[in-house]
Amino acid sequence: MSISTSSRETITTGFTQVVDILCDIADTYRMLGRQEDAVTLLKTGLSLPGDETALSAQAKLLTNYGKQLTASMFRTSRTADEALSVLTHAREIAESLQDELLLASVLYELGEIYFVRGHKTTGEDSDYDTSLAYFQQALAIREALHDEKNMPQSLLSVGRMYQNIGQNEAAQLYIERALQSAEQQQDRAIQGEATNHIAILKAGQDDLEDAIQLVKVSIAIREQAGLAAEVPYSYLSLGELYQANGMSKEALTTYQQCYTLAEQVQATQVTTIVLLGIGYVYLEDGKAEQAVEQFQRAKTLSESIGLKTGIQEAQEALEEVGIG
């Protein structure tokens, strides 16, 4: 039976609206720390019957599902396989439609997969070059199309990668551009994250006082914007800066705050790093037994989500106190 033009338009418009709503809800879940709810919601959305006229909406749904799967990797033992498969399908659709904006979104999320996977693996297994290449491709498309809305995200992603591979001068250039662009677009999420990264770069330049103040600004931005899933990252940075500045009491208090916040939003990767930080504060204060307890908890938690970097760092910490 043939379908009339008006019927096709109704299906396409309706399906597109449903996808937009599902993606918005999933992003809200993620920002509130309800990561697995975001994954479940979009997985359910994928079971909805679509139509060949709504391919762009289907690709958007796949892209967002891949994004939520990637974010979940920091909280669970989930690997990158499903996200890569989903995003590869989304990329095929974007390329078949010759939709450059959609393609840029897919390329960005592919970069995120390799970025997150790089954080979960040890140095020799990480593939940050692939991540950077995807981010650069996405940025190039967005610059060519004057996609101002998504520029802050792309600029920050490239800057983060340069920071990860130790090219701090390039990192600072891109991250500062990301912050400026985010302020213009009133993108609070990117403002908070970019400010936090600039603080870390400042600390690397031995400007700890400015770094601490910038992290506090990052905390304020994220808290005021209701970004519960992002706030623990800023508290983690603040605790690390206090510790680097020899302020062990402030470091311990901040780490404990961070632990509570991370637990509330199931930010497991942050929790493992915090436990290590608390352990080292105890060790510096001569409390070896309490330090060992924190290191062991960090190792167990890292093992539960397959966080190889956390396992390695916890093992090294235990060996430092004579437990191997």
Q: What is the mean pLDDT of residues 281-306?
A: 94
Residue 7: per-residue pLDDT: 73
CB proximity list for 216: less than 8 A, separation 6 or greater: 238
- Answer yes or no: is pLDDT of 1 > 50: no
Q: What is the mean pLDDT of residues 280-307?
A: 94
Domains of the chain: 17-122 (1.25.40), 267-324 (no CATH)
CA of 139: how far to CAs of 42, 92, 147, in Å? 26, 19, 9
Give 223's pLDDT tier (boundaries 50, 70, 90).
Answer: very high
Lowest mean pLDDT among 128-132, 146-150, 252-256, 275-279: 128-132
| Cβ 104 vs Cβ 141: under 8 Å | yes
Residue type for 170, please? A
Residue 125: per-residue pLDDT: 63
User: Which candidate, 184, 193, 102, 112, places its Cα nearest to that of 149?
Assistant: 184
Q: Mind listing the pLDDT tens digit for each residue in 112-166?
A: 999 988 877 765 566 889 999 999 999 999 999 999 999 999 999 999 999 989 9
